[in-house]
Amino acid sequence: MRDFPNFIQPPLYATDQEKQFSDVLIEFNKQQPGYLKYIVHTENMRRIAALRRLLGKDQVNASNNPQLFNVITKLCKGLGVNMPIVFTYGNRDIAAITDVMSSGGACELFVENNAFTLGTKDSLYIFVSEELINSTQLNENELLVLIAHEVGHAMANHSLRTLTYQSNFIQYIVDIDAKNKIKKMMSDKSFSRLQEVTADRAALIACRNVDYVCSMLDKLGKVHPELMDYDDSESDHPNNRKRIEMIRLFAKSQLYAECIERIDGFPVDKSRYIYTESDLQVHIMRII
């Protein structure tokens, strides 16, 4: 089980709240070694098998979609991660999936204009709707941002939050404080909004240009104006105006510089990055 802390450890760019959540899970794993990873693997394998059978498609590769494949290889280099398996789906696939999987979380995500992952750091896979790519008319840089955001969710093991909840694993946590902490995080919508912040950070690290992230969010906002500036206090996604504000702050932070430094393996001049990690955290909590 020695690899478990690595598996659960959030990426450097994750928000503080997620780091606390992971600490509780690491502690839990000491009591029930391997239990969480078993749940994750079982669930991932079940989902991938079901969804692949339904889609009956090959993953995006160099011959069936060279443009998207090129985007994926580029983003992995920027983010310093392995290649994810990416599937695209169309409206006919949605109909087939809805017919067969009338219940279960995956079905709700398989809708028009969506990109999502249920994967984890160990199992990087992403689904993108063809309609989203077509309707938003994203250029290559923005497409990279869109996919890298999903890779960010998987790298930070965001699906663990739902899985641990569904598997009712908290009943095994002995420490009352830890139990309460985790219950609170699971019911707190702002925690889920912070996960979006983390995923946007991954997208920026992958493309290295904050304007690309902002223009992707702008384009999504043009197709779906309701995403731009709604009251998000009860939502699990921050509105796009806030996402733009928060990613611009991260782009000027020392944490961002440090991430790049680690991935690229050479020093970055930090004088251009004005916010310390704690400044950044204060700003984010004010906005979220």
Confirm or reject binding of residue 247 to Zn ion (CB under 5 A). Answer: no
Q: How far is the CB of 279 from Zn ion (least distance, A)?
A: 24
Q: How far is the CB of 195 from Zn ion (least distance, A)?
A: 7
Applying CB under 5 A, the span of 54-62, 81-89, 136-144, 195-203 interacting with Zn ion comes to 195-203
Applying CB under 5 A, the span of 55-63, 139-147, 199-207, 219-227 interacting with Zn ion comes to 199-207
Nearer to Zn ion, 54 or 199 (CB): 199
Applying CB under 5 A, the span of 117-125, 177-185, 188-196, 268-276 interacting with Zn ion comes to 188-196
Using CB atoms, what's the residue nearest to Zn ion? 199
Q: Residues in contact with Zn ion, total (CB under 5 A)?
A: 2
Confirm or reject binding of residue 148 to Zn ion (CB under 5 A). Answer: no
Could you give the CA distance from residue 18 to residue 40 in angstroms, rounded to a whole number? 18
Cα 217 to chain centroid distance, Å, stands at: 15
Nearer to Zn ion, 18 or 196 (CB): 196
Could you give the CA distance from residue 281 to residue 93 in angstroms, rounded to a whole number? 41
Q: How far is the CB of 199 from Zn ion (least distance, A)?
A: 5
Confirm or reject binding of residue 199 to Zn ion (CB under 5 A). Answer: yes
Q: How far is the CB of 213 from Zn ion (least distance, A)?
A: 12
Nearer to Zn ion, 115 or 251 (CB): 115
Q: How far is the CB of 185 from Zn ion (least distance, A)?
A: 17
Enter the tokens of residue 60: 């995006």
Could you give the CA distance from residue 51 to residue 96 in angstroms, rounded to a whole number? 10
Q: Which residues bind Zn ion (CB under 5 A)?
A: 196, 199
